[in-house]
């Protein structure tokens, strides 16, 4: 179980690095929003894997809150991008 946990956490860390690089390099707001949503999902999955490995109940609460905040942030950015497209 420990090997699987460390491999999955390593892959999630690699995905987080790719997400941060994608946020830094993209110029369009929509691309950055997708990368931010992916990064939020990766961090949420990392919290859930950590909760399963180390039996920390607090990580479950943090994962739920982070998932909800990521969802609301994605909706807000999508509405902002849509309003910018309509103005053009």
**Surface-to-core class of residue 78, CB atoms within 10 Å of its CB (0-12 exposed, 13-18 middle, 19+ buried):** middle
Instruction: Write the DSSP assignment of 7-70 as a string of letters.
Output: HHHHHHHHHHHHHHHHHHH--SHHHHHHHHHHHHHHHHHHHHHHHHHH--HHHHHHHHHHHHHH
Q: Give the predicted TM-score (pTM) of the model.
A: 0.85
- Structural domain including 67 reads 2-87
In tens, the pLDDT along 11-49 reads 999 999 999 999 999 888 888 989 999 999 999 999 999
CATH number at residue 22: 1.10.287
Question: By three-state DSSP, how is residue 5 classified?
Answer: helix
Q: How many CB atoms lie within 10 A of CB 25?
A: 10
Give the residue-averaged pLDDT of 64-69: 94
Q: Name the domain count of the chain.
A: 1
């Amino acid at each position: 179980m420990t090997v699987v946990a460390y491999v999955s956490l390593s892959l999630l860390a690699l995905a987080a690095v790719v997400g941060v690089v994608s946020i830094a390099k993209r110029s369009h707001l929509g691309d950055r929003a997708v990368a931010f949503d992916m990064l939020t999902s990766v961090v949420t999955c990392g919290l859930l894997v950590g909760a399963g490995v180390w039996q920390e109940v607090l990580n479950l609460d943090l994962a739920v809150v982070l998932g909800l905040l990521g969802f609301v942030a994605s909706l807000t950015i999508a509405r902002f991008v849509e309003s910018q497209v309509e103005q053009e």
